[in-house]
């Protein structure tokens, strides 16, 4: 399904309206107010985005973006708001929730990983703001790092600073204060390098790239791919071609190791194709990639690690999710 990927399409105006139900008595309609409920309406197209409680604290996407700039300079006090720019935005067609990424536009916050060929692999931080109008997602600000050469976004769970605020008036005041331990980012940079040192030492044969990508991102062949509509079969073929080309590119660029496979994983997760065989949105797949990195960098350093056994176990876990 097409998604909203332009910032202007996401920053639509929203208003709160009372909720009524229609009741009929003697063929006459009466509008009865629904207590403790209100509707959030996109006034650009007058679409109801959600029906929420009276205590729901409306935060528009524009307000959330402004708060994200505030979060940027709090987490990285050596920067200024004007040094951060919107790198990506993403929302379903309904506009019920959105994700907006801001990245730092200078090299001041960059750090490099040196490859075998002594070429620096530069990473930089980004901050992702999550907002919703349907009560299903909290207002969130997550700090991540991306590989700047191809903007592979990633969020590593439980490893980077994260702020969450439920959409309730008691939790979101007129002013939001972001509090950060200044040592946290320094500690994370050390952990970050440890992650990739382990990945670069872990050999992954080229023919294991696609199964690994599919296993990490929970991409599975549809059960009815051969008996379903031709478009499904065609999409599955296109998806496999996409994965092969991606794997070939990173194998040539970075070699036969888990670091190359990880970059293929994050590239796909950050730029998922419009394909009916893909059932997760960008944010979800990036989090899967981040979770995998936080566990696999230790797994692959075990003396008895074998990629064939690991892939078999990964496939087994994914099959159990059906």
DSSP string, 184-198: HHHHHHHHHHHHHHH
Shared domain for 211 and 297, answered yes or no, is yes
Q: What is the rounded CA–CA span in Å between residue 196 and residue 27?
A: 71
Decide if 140 contacts 68 (C-beta within 8 A).
Answer: no
Is the same domain home to 227 and 278? yes
Of the candidates 130, 72, 74, 65, the one whose C-alpha atom is nearest the C-alpha of residue 103 is: 72
Cα–Cα dist 61/129, whole Å: 9
Is residue 258 in some structural domain?
A: yes
- Report if residue 196 sits inside a domain: no
> Which of 150, 184, 218 is the last residue in one of the domains?
184
Residue 160 sits in the same domain as residue 255: no
Asked if residues 309 and 206 have their Cβ atoms less than 8 Å apart, the reply is no
Cα(256)–Cα(203) distance, integer angstroms: 6
Q: Kindly state whether residue 178 falls inside one of the protein's structural domains.
A: yes
In a domain, 191, yes or no: no
What six digits make up the tokens of 235?
A: 């999409």
Burial class (CB in 10 A: 0-12, 13-18, 19+), 10: buried
Q: Which of 208, 211, 228 is nearest to 219 (CA)?
A: 211
Residue 47 lies in a domain: yes
161 and 209 together in one domain:
no
* pLDDT the model gives residue 116: 46
In angstroms, the first-to-last Cα distance of the chain is 22
Closest alpha carbon to 268 in 207, 219, 222: 219
Residues 44 and 91 in one domain: no
Do 102 and 166 reside in the same domain of the chain? yes
Same domain for 176 and 229, yes or no, is: no
Residue 110 to residues 1, 33, 68, 196, 205, Cα–Cα distance (Å): 35, 55, 19, 16, 30
Tokens of 56: 């729901």
Which has the closest alpha carbon to 70: 175, 185, 181?
Answer: 175
In a domain, 3, yes or no: no
In this structure, the answer to whether residues 164 and 233 fall within a common structural domain is no
In a domain, 197, yes or no: no
The pLDDT assigned to 161 comes to 79
Do 221 and 268 reside in the same domain of the chain? yes
What's residue 28's pLDDT?
Answer: 82
Range(s) of the domain holding residue 117: 61-184
In this structure, are strands 111-114 and 139-147 parallel, antiparallel, or unpaired?
unpaired
Same domain assignment for residues 135 and 219: no
Counted domains in the chain: 3
Whether residues 170 and 238 share a domain: the answer is: no
From first to last of its 322 residues, the chain has per-residue pLDDT tens of 678 999 999 999 999 999 999 888 777 888 889 999 999 999 999 999 999 999 999 999 999 999 999 999 888 888 888 889 998 899 999 999 999 999 888 766 666 665 545 555 777 788 999 999 988 899 999 988 887 776 677 776 555 678 999 998 888 887 888 887 767 777 777 777 777 888 888 999 999 999 999 999 999 988 887 776 778 889 999 999 999 999 999 999 999 999 999 999 999 998 898 898 998 999 899 989 988 988 898 899 899 999 999 999 998 887 776 5
Q: Can you give the pTM of this predicted structure?
A: 0.84
The answer to whether residues 109 and 38 belong to one domain is no
Q: What is the 3-state secondary structure (H, E, C) of 15-55?
A: EEEEEEEEEEECCEEEEEEEEEEEEEEECCCCEEEEEEECC
Residue 193 in any domain: the answer is: no
How much is the pLDDT for 156? Answer: 63
């Amino acid at each position: 399904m097409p998604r909203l990927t332009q910032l202007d399409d996401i920053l639509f105006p929203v208003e709160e309206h009372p909720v009524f139900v229609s009741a009929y008595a003697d063929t006459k309609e009466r509008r009865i107010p629904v207590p403790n409920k209100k509707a959030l309406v996109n006034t650009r197209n007058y679409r109801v985005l959600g029906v929420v409680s009276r205590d729901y604290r409306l935060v528009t996407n524009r307000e959330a973006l402004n708060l994200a700039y505030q979060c940027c300079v709090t987490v990285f006090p050596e920067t200024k708001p004007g040094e951060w720019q919107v790198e990506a935005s993403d929302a379903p067609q309904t506009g019920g929730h959105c994700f907006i990424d801001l990245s730092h536009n200078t090299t001041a916050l960059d750090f490099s990983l040196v490859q075998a060929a002594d070429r620096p692999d530069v990473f930089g931080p980004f901050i992702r703001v999550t907002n919703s109008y349907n009560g299903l997602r909290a207002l969130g600000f997550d700090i991540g790092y991306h590989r700047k050469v191809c903007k592979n976004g990633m969020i590593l769970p439980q490893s980077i600073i994260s702020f969450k605020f439920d959409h309730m008036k008691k939790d979101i005041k007129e002013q939001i204060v972001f509090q950060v331990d200044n040592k946290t980012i320094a500690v994370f940079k050390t952990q970050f390098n440890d992650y990739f040192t382990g990945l670069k030492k872990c050999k992954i044969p080229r023919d294991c790239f696609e199964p690994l990508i599919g296993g990490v991102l929970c991409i599975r062949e549809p059960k009815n791919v051969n008996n379903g509509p031709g478009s499904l079969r065609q999409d599955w073929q296109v998806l496999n071609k996409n994965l092969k080309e991606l794997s070939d590119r990173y194998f040539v660029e970075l070699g036969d190791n888990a670091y190359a496979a990880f970059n293929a994983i994050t590239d796909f997760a950050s730029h998922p194709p419009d394909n009916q065989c893909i059932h997760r949105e960008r944010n979800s797949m990036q989090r899967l990639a981040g979770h995998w990195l936080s566990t696999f960098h230790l797994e692959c350093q075990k003396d008895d690690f074998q990629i064939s056994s690991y892939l078999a176990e990964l496939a087994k876990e994914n099959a159990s999710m059906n």
